[in-house]
Amino acid sequence: MLGFYQAKAASPRPGGKPPFANSVEQRMEMIRLLKEVNEQLKQQNALLRSGKLRVIVGEPDKQKR
């Protein structure tokens, strides 16, 4: 026969923090970061459309191995 026995009830974690992150806070952080990236993309696209961007392409420096 298989039985389960629990010697004591689960105790709260030190500091009262839950074992997993708060999903609502995670979502809010993700939304904030997505808005930040979106704003950066708008700035980049504006720069590209302005024609003021100048790109110089050259050979990469050879690294000593």
**pLDDT tens digits for range 18-27:** 777 788 999 9
Q: What is the pTM of this model?
A: 0.52
Going from the C-alpha of 60 to that of each of 37, 53, 63, the distances in angstroms are 29, 21, 9
**Spatial distance between the Cα atoms of 65 and 55, rounded to a whole number of angstroms:** 29
Question: Tell me: the pLDDT tens digits for 2-14?
Answer: 666 666 656 666 6
Cα dihedral sign for 11, 17, 18, 19? negative
H-only helix segments in the chain: 23-50
